[in-house]
């Protein structure tokens, strides 16, 4: 008697119903139904389910199956195949994106709830699995409009991505053709100028060096004008080619912002340390400074800068301005 097929350990290339072997029939195709994931050959599927729905022929299963529900398994491990199908079915209902939530925490909680439901549907038994199925059904019924809207938004986004990709390919093709035309025209101009130089040299009119230099100037001028025109056409194409055709807009998508150029590292975090009440000079003419500071050997030690002394002295002199202790004491009272 055939045993129930264990989806975690699928049997070899033998049909559990008719015992057909792929070794004897190389064209043998195995199909599964997402209702129970029991594998059987296509011949058994046609023989049993062509006339209408019928119970699964695998022993101890008995689930009602339909022919249109059978498909070829993508994974060899039917357990993985079942989990992927369940995830696809859950994601069709829980199809919201991060843009639909106010905070990242809410979106992460939403993803966690989705994963918990997938886990219950894949590994749950009895009541746990029934509760997960019921929760999925109630959520689908309560949010049918939003689910359909999100699905259509994803389809439009994919369509716009494909359209943008085709436009980019077409623009790249046009640029290649323009470069080829420019190269051909440039070669033709060089050949034409060479013939003109040879004709002028043959007639003996003018200096040979002047004639050659004039020909080079003409070629450079034509090449520069042609490249300028090509860059202008490319800019116009870039400005018009990326439009969202027919004024199509997608709600919920974030606007793409050009990345800001990274600024050099500032250890002070943007705090401006330049004094605003005075200008620090490199040197000061003061009698006391000349006698007591500049001539003092202690101030001439290695590594000491008089500029630091000037800066500290000026900071101490101006740091207390516009600070009135009486007003602060009055405000405290």
Is there a contact between 161 and 171 (Cβ–Cβ < 8 Å)?
no
Task: Give the residue-averaged pLDDT of 71-83.
Answer: 89
pLDDT in tens, 172-188: 998 898 888 888 888 88
- Looking at residue 78, what is its pLDDT? 87
Report which DSSP code applies to 290: I
- Looking at residue 83, what is its pLDDT? 92
Percentage of residues of the chain with pLDDT beyond 70:
80
Of 40-49, 86-95, 202-211, 229-238, least confident by mean pLDDT is: 229-238
Confidence of residue 31 (pLDDT cuts 50, 70, 90): very high
DSSP 115-181: HHHHHHHHH--THHHHHHHHHHHHHHHHTHHHHHHHHHHHHHHHHHHHHHHHHHHHHHHHHHHHHHH
Task: Give the residue-averaged pLDDT of 162-181.
Answer: 89
DSSP 195-241: HHHHHHHHHT-S-HHHHHHHHHHHHHHHHHHHHHHHHHHHHHHHHHH
pLDDT in tens, 232-286: 555 555 444 444 434 333 334 345 566 777 888 888 888 887 888 888 888 888 8
pLDDT in tens, 81-124: 999 999 999 988 888 888 888 888 888 888 898 899 999 998 88
Q: Is the pLDDT of residue 224 over 80?
A: no
Beta bridge partners of 32: 71
145-to-4, 78, 157, 250 alpha-carbon distances in Å = 40, 33, 18, 17
Identify the residue with better confidence: 10 or 56: 56
Give start-end residues of each CATH 3.30.40.10 domain in the chain: 1-73
Percentage of residues of the chain with pLDDT beyond 90:
8
CATH of 1-73, one of 3.40.50.10420, 3.30.300.20, 3.40.50.850, 3.30.40.10: 3.30.40.10
123-to-168, 222, 324 alpha-carbon distances in Å = 46, 74, 74
Task: Give the residue-averaged pLDDT of 10-26.
Answer: 80
- Looking at residue 270, what is its pLDDT? 80
Q: Is the pLDDT of residue 131 over 50?
A: yes
First to last CA, the chain: 98
Confidence of residue 295 (pLDDT cuts 50, 70, 90): confident
Residues 152, 158, 173, CA angle at the centre, nearest 5°?
A: 150
């Amino acid at each position: 008697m055939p045993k129930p097929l264990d989806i975690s350990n699928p049997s070899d290339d033998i049909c559990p119903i008719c015992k057909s072997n792929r070794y004897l029939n190389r064209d043998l195709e195995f199909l599964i139904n997402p209702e129970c994931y029991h594998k059987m050959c296509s011949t058994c599927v046609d023989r049993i389910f062509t006339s209408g729905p019928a119970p699964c022929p695998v022993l101890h299963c008995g689930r009602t199956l339909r022919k249109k529900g059978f498909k070829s398994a993508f994974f060899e491990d039917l357990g993985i195949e079942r989990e992927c199908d369940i995830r696809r079915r859950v994601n069709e209902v829980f199809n919201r994106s991060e843009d639909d939530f106010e905070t990242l925490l809410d979106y992460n909680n939403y993803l966690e709830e989705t994963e918990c439901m997938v886990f219950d549907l894949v590994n749950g038994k009895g009541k746990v699995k029934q509760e997960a199925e019921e929760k999925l059904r109630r959520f689908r019924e309560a949010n049918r409009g939003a689910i359909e809207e999100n699905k259509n938004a994803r389809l439009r986004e994919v369509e716009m991505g494909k359209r943008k990709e085709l436009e980019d390919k077409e623009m790249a093709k046009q640029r290649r053709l323009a470069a080829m035309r420019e190269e051909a025209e440039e070669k033709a101009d060089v050949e034409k100028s060479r013939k003109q130089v040879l004709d002028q040299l043959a007639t003996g009119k003018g200096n040979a060096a002047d004639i050659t230099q004039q020909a080079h100037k003409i070629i450079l001028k034509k090449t520069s004008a042609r490249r300028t025109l090509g860059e202008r056409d490319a800019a116009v194409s870039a400005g018009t080619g990326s439009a969202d055709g027919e004024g199509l807009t997608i709600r919920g998508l974030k606007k793409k912002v050009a990345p800001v150029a990274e600024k050099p590292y500032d250890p002070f975090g943007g705090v401006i340390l330049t004094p605003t009440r005075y200008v620090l000079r490199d040197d000061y003419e003061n009698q006391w400074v000349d006698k007591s500071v500049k001539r003092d050997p202690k101030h001439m030690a290695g590594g000491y800068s008089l500029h630091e002394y000037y800066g500290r002295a000026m900071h101490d002199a101006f740091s207390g301005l516009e600070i009135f202790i009486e007003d602060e004491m009055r405000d405290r009272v």
